[in-house]
Amino acid sequence: MGFKCGIVGLPNVGKSTLFNALTATAAAQAANYPFCTIEPNVGEVAVPDPRLDVLAKLAKSNDIIPTRLAFVDIAGLVRGASKGEGLGNQFLANIREVDAIVHVVRCFDDGDITHVEGRIDPVADIETIETELMLADLDSLEKRVVAAEKKAKGGDKEAKELFDLMSRALVLLREGKPARLVELKPEDEKPFRLLGLLSSKPVLYVCNVEEAAAGTGNAYSKAVEARAAEEGAVAVVISAQIEAEIAILPNEERADYLAAIGLDEPGLNRLIRAGYQLLDLVTFFTVGPKEARAWTITRGTKAPQAAGVIHTDFERGFIRSETIAFDDYVTYAGEAGARDAGRLRLEGKEYVVADGDVLHFRFAT
Confidence of residue 292 (pLDDT cuts 50, 70, 90): very high
SS (H, E, C) the chain: CCCEEEEECCCCCCHHHHHHHHHCCCCCCCCCCCCCCCCCEEEEEECCCHHHHHHHHHHCCCEEECCEEEEEECCCCCCCHHHCCCCHHHHHHHHHCCCEEEEEEECCCCCCCCCCCCCCCHHHHHHHHHHHHHHHHHHHHHHHHHHHHHHHHCCCHHHHHHHHHHHHHHHHHHCCCCHHHCCCCHHHHHHHHHCCCHHHCCEEEEEECCHHHCCCCCHHHHHHHHHHHHCCCEEEEECHHHHHHHHCCCHHHHHHHHHHCCCCCCHHHHHHHHHHHHCCEEEEEEECCCEEEEEEEECCCEHHHHHHHHCHHHHHCEEEEEEECHHHHHHCCCHHHHHHCCCCEEECCCCECCCCCEEEEEECC
Residue 290 has pLDDT above 90, yes or no: yes
Rounded to an integer, what distance in angstroms lies between the CA atom of residue 263 and that of residue 261? Answer: 6
323 is an annotated ligand-binding site residue: no
The DSSP bridge partners found for residue 6 are 72, 101
**Average pLDDT of the residues in 29-57:** 71
Q: What are phi and psi of 109, to 5 degrees?
A: -100, 135
Task: Give the rounded percent of residues in the chain with a pLDDT score beyond 70.
Answer: 89
**Average pLDDT of the residues in 122-149:** 91
Residue 150 has pLDDT above 60, yes or no: yes
14 is an annotated ligand-binding site residue: yes
Note the pLDDT of residue 39.
Answer: 53
Tens of pLDDT, residue by residue over 10-32, are 888 888 888 888 876 434 334 44
Confidence of residue 83 (pLDDT cuts 50, 70, 90): low
As annotated, the residues of the chain forming the CATH 3.40.50.300 domain(s) are 4-278
**Average pLDDT of the residues in 151-159:** 83
Confidence of residue 328 (pLDDT cuts 50, 70, 90): very high
Note the pLDDT of residue 273.
Answer: 87
Report the b/e string of 59-88 with b at 16+ CB within 10 A: bebeeeebbebbbbbbbbbbbebbeeebbb
17 is an annotated ligand-binding site residue: yes
pTM comes to 0.82
Note the pLDDT of residue 341.
Answer: 97
CB atoms within 10 A of CB 213: 18
288 is an annotated ligand-binding site residue: no
Looking at domain 4-278, its CATH class is: alpha beta
Note the pLDDT of residue 20.
Answer: 84
13 is an annotated ligand-binding site residue: yes
12 is an annotated ligand-binding site residue: yes
Rounded to an integer, what distance in angstroms lies between the CA atom of residue 312 and that of residue 316? Answer: 6
As annotated, the residues of the chain forming the CATH 3.10.20.30 domain(s) are 300-363
**Average pLDDT of the residues in 280-298:** 95
Q: In this predicted structure, which of 33-47, 88-102, 212-226, 328-342 has the lowest mean pLDDT?
A: 33-47
Tens of pLDDT, residue by residue over 172-217, are 999 999 999 999 988 898 899 889 999 999 999 999 999 899 888 9
Q: Which of 188, 202, 274, 206 is nearest to 231 (CA)?
A: 202
CATH 3.10.20.30 fits 300-363, yes or no: yes
Phi-psi region at 84: left, alpha or beta (left = phi > 0; alpha = psi -120 to 50): left
Beta pairing, strands 318-324 & 234-238: unpaired
